[in-house]
Structures are given as structure tokens and as C-alpha cells.
């Protein structure tokens, strides 16, 4: 299996409330996995959430401890993949894919005995297409672009960039018709963009009118 862990996070909206998703993007190109067709999740109500429903710094260390210990308790005992977690509406949700639920139920229950302040809930559903992973946990195109932008900024900062120098940002936008492209240009006329190039190429398919701006 050509798989390499690739964990990252992004902020989102779930049920009109602020949420934070931390997920393993490494499954993007190999899922669904045939013998792991059950989506299994654990709901952990937060004890000391922030006003916006996300986890507080005071509780974060305990939540990380629970998560790490839980994965260790499951390790080598069952066939599973841990794909991500959601923090939203004063709860933390841990998402797995498993082949069956009999043993994992017992392992989770046994492990959580020492955390009796947390009243967990467990649920699962048939999900052979991994829709929870692709349609729920995975970011929308806009959220994914924001995540990629953050990674670029993080990389610049790691290399000593103070992020104070102005720099050009290139954008490529594709349209169905030249008229649509002109309407778009009219809309952004006063926003400080410079047109670098305009092209039309039928090999681009339905969106064959390209606009390169910066």
C-alpha cells in the first residue's frame, strides 16, 4: 500500500459553528480501503471549552493525552485506520475506519475507565466509499486553498522570512466564455490587479478562456 502519513489542520464551519479539523491527508490517494468499510467515531464532550466551542489551552494537554493513549491502546490489537478528529460545538470527535466494531468497543471502553470525567459516546455506520473522510472531513476547495496558503507562509517563516516585504501573487482563472472573462475583469478593475496574459485554448475543455492576473 503506497501510503505515507500527512497530518494537517484547518478551520471550518460545521452546523454554522466554528470547527477545527485535524486529519491525515495521506489516505487521499488510496482510500477507500476495501476491508475497512465501517466508519467509527468517538464523541468526547469537552469539560472546559472556549466560548466558541473549540478546545481551550487549559484542556488541550489532557485531550492530547487521551488521544495518544487511545491510539496506543488500539495499536496492534485490531485492524483500523485513524483518519482525523473534529473539534466543534464543545465536543471532540475521533474518526476511524474499521473492519468490525466488536473488539474496538471493548478496547475503547476499557481505556476510558480512567477518564471518568469524560462521558463518551460511540457510533458507527457502513461507509465503504469513505464518504465521511472525503465528503465531511476533507476540506472544500476554498478551505484547501487556505490550508495550502498557510503552508506556504509557514515555510517562508521557517526560512527566516519576516513576511514584511510586499510580493506579487499570481492567479489563473478559467471561464466558459470571453464575455464571462470580461465581466470578471470589470468587477476587479479597481482592486489593484494587473493582467499578465489572456488566452483561449480548446484543449482546456469547457473552461477554455484563461486569465492570468497578479
Q: pTM of the prediction?
A: 0.79
Band of pLDDT at residue 27, cut at 50, 70 and 90: very high
Average per-residue pLDDT for the chain: 94
Cell of 126: 457502513
pLDDT of residue 28: 94
pLDDT greater than 80 at residue 1: no
Residue whose entry in the numeric block shows the C-alpha cell 495518544: 68
Residue whose entry in the numeric block shows the C-alpha cell 497578479: 214
pLDDT of residue 167: 86
Instruction: For 113-142, give one letter per residue: b (16+ CB within 10 A) or e.
Output: eeeeeeebeeebeebeebebbeebbbbeee
Choice among 1-5, 15-19, 55-59, 82-86 with the minimum mean pLDDT:
1-5
Of residues 189 and 62, which shows the higher confidence score?
Answer: 62
pLDDT greater than 90 at residue 3: no
Amino acid at each position: 500500500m503506497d501510503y505515507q502519513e500527512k497530518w494537517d489542520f484547518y478551520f471550518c464551519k460545521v452546523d454554522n459553528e466554528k470547527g477545527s479539523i485535524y486529519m491525515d491527508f495521506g489516505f487521499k490517494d488510496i482510500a477507500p480501503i476495501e476491508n475497512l468499510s465501517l466508519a467509527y467515531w468517538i464523541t468526547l464532550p469537552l469539560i472546559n471549552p472556549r466560548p466558541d466551542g473549540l478546545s481551550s489551552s487549559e484542556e488541550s494537554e489532557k485531550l492530547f493525552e487521551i488521544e495518544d493513549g487511545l491510539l496506543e491502546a488500539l495499536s496492534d490489537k485490531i485492524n483500523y485506520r485513524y483518519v482525523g478528529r473534529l473539534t466543534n460545538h464543545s465536543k471532540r470527535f475521533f474518526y476511524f475506519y474499521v473492519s468490525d466494531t466488536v473488539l474496538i468497543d471493548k478496547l475503547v471502553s476499557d481505556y476510558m475507565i480512567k477518564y471518568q470525567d469524560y462521558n463518551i459516546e460511540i457510533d458507527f455506520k457502513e461507509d465503504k466509499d469513505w464518504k465521511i473522510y472525503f465528503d465531511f472531513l476533507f476540506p472544500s476547495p476554498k478551505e484547501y486553498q487556505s490550508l495550502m496558503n498557510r503552508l506556504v507562509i509557514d515555510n517562508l517563516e521557517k526560512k527566516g522570512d519576516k513576511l514584511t516585504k510586499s510580493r506579487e501573487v499570481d492567479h489563473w482563472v478559467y471561464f466558459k466564455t470571453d464575455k464571462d472573462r470580461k465581466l470578471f475583469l470589470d468587477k476587479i478593475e479597481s482592486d489593484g490587479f494587473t493582467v499578465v496574459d489572456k488566452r483561449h485554448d480548446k484543449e482546456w475543455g469547457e473552461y477554455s478562456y484563461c486569465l492570468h492576473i497578479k
